[in-house]
């Protein structure tokens, strides 16, 4: 976990983080290295301030889920953390200013799966996944045996190896999503950022995805995922709740305070229940 020890800061692992603390969790007593840090991050799009000062410290070697209503700023935050959008404020990856990384270094370190991500429709599935190996390859160099092995492993992991020779445009929504997920995995990056990765996946492949993310963090990697599937998001280690361009709560998924904040962010239209040893989110029939 060399990347994790690079950061000198710590993340919240105890009680809830106080919203607005600067940066969240830095003063917490249990010391966990920080993989991703945002300090006063603001983004304005089309004249509207979409991110209104985000302070976050995300622990390394853990899975954090970002949850919140449509338009809360989740995608914008993920893009700002990946340096895909101009922003005010500071972002650090693995303890180093994000702006100090070269594009290639960052592409090897941070793998990205976007919301409704497009792709070249004519490319074969395996060539799409090979794009994830570009930051590892020399300029104009051919893929190495290592690159080909990484592509095959990622495609087998998301069960899309069987249609490796089919054009992306010929695949169903869920099949296509599994190819794009394989592309992100093929990067073999310590930081995995995914925006609504479960879109179009059927239940067995959602369960596979859970295992993939768990394995990534067990190997010391860090995952940050935006999810609307709240029951799946409750499987994460930490939850960040967003509303109207701000972080309104950060805490462990197992904590009651997180469940209460989660229900509040969705106007109590959902409730968190314990079922068969898992936390599940169900519609609240008694709408207040
Ligand atoms: N180019 C733009 N110009 C103006 N407003 C924008 C632009 N891009 C995004 N927005 C607005 O910024 C807000 C946050 O958008 P964002 O995509 O981050 O939301 P989100 O939390 O990911 O929502 P969803 O759950 O629907 O994916 C939204 O209100 C959106 O309409
Ligand atoms: Mg979004």
Protein residue with its CA nearest to atom 17 in ligand 1: 75
pLDDT at residue 288, as a whole number: 60
Please tell me the distance from the alpha carbon of residue 33 to that of residue 10, in angstroms, as a whole number: 5
Per the prediction, the chain carries an average pLDDT of 88
Domain that holds residue 152: 61-85+103-283
CA atoms within 13 A on the CB side of 189: 31
Does the C-beta of 45 come closer than 6 Å to ligand 1? yes
Q: Which pLDDT tens digit goes with each residue over 128-180? A: 999 999 999 887 788 999 999 999 999 999 999 999 999 999 999 999 999 99
Does the C-beta of 47 come closer than 6 Å to ligand 1? no
CATH number of 168's domain: 3.40.50.300
Q: How many domains does the chain have?
A: 1
> Is residue 2 a part of any domain in this protein?
no
> Is residue 237 a part of any domain in this protein?
yes
> Is residue 276 a part of any domain in this protein?
yes
Residue 244 CB neighbours (<10 A): 12
Q: What is the mean pLDDT of residues 279-284?
A: 95
- Partnered with residue 237 across adjacent β-strands are none
> Is residue 288 a part of any domain in this protein?
no
pLDDT at residue 12, as a whole number: 40
Q: Which pLDDT tens digit goes with each residue over 223-257? A: 999 999 999 999 999 999 999 999 999 999 999 99
Task: Say what angle helices 173-186 and 203-218 make with each other, to 10 degrees.
Answer: 10
Q: Which pLDDT tens digit goes with each residue over 46-77? A: 999 999 999 999 999 999 999 999 999 999 99
Ligand 1 midpoint to CA 265 (Å): 17
Question: Any idea of the CA torsion for 163, 164, 166, 168, to the nearest 10 degrees?
Answer: 100
**pLDDT of residue 3 exceeding 50:** no
> Is residue 4 a part of any domain in this protein?
no
Measured CA distances, 250 to 5, 84, 161, 272 (Å): 22, 23, 37, 16
């Amino acid at each position: 976990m060399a990347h994790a020890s690079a950061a000198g800061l710590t993340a919240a692992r105890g009680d809830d983080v106080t919203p607005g603390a600067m940066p969240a969790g830095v003063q917490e007593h249990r010391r966990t290295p920080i993989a991703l840090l945002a300090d006063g991050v603001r983004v304005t799009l089309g004249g509207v301030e979409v991110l209104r000062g985000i302070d976050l410290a995300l622990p390394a070697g853990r899975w954090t889920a970002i949850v919140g209503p449509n338009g809360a700023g989740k995608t914008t935050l993920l893009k700002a953390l990946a340096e895909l959008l101009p922003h005010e404020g500071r972002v650090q990856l693995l303890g180093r200013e994000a702006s100090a990384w070269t594009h290639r270094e960052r592409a090897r370190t941070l793998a990205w799966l976007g919301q409704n991500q497009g792709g070249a429709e004519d490319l074969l599935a395996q060539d799409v996944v090979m794009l994830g190996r570009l930051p590892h390859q020399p300029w104009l160099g051919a893929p190495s045996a290592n690159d080909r092995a990484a592509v095959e492993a990622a495609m087998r992991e998301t069960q899309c190896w069987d249609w490796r020779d089919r054009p992306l445009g010929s695949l169903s929504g869920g099949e296509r999503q599994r190819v794009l997920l394989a592309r992100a995995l093929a990067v073999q990056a310590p930081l995995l950022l995914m925006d609504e990765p479960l879109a179009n996946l059927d239940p067995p492949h959602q369960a596979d995805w859970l295992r993939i993310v768990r394995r990534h963090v067990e190997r010391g990697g860090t995952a940050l995922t935006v999810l609307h599937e709240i029951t799946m998001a409750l499987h994460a280690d930490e939850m960040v709740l967003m509303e109207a361009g701000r972080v309104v709560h950060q805490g462990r998924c197992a904590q009651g305070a997180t469940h209460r904040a989660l229900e509040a962010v969705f106007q109590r239209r959902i409730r968190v229940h314990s079922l068969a040893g898992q936390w599940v989110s169900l519609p609240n029939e008694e709408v207040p």
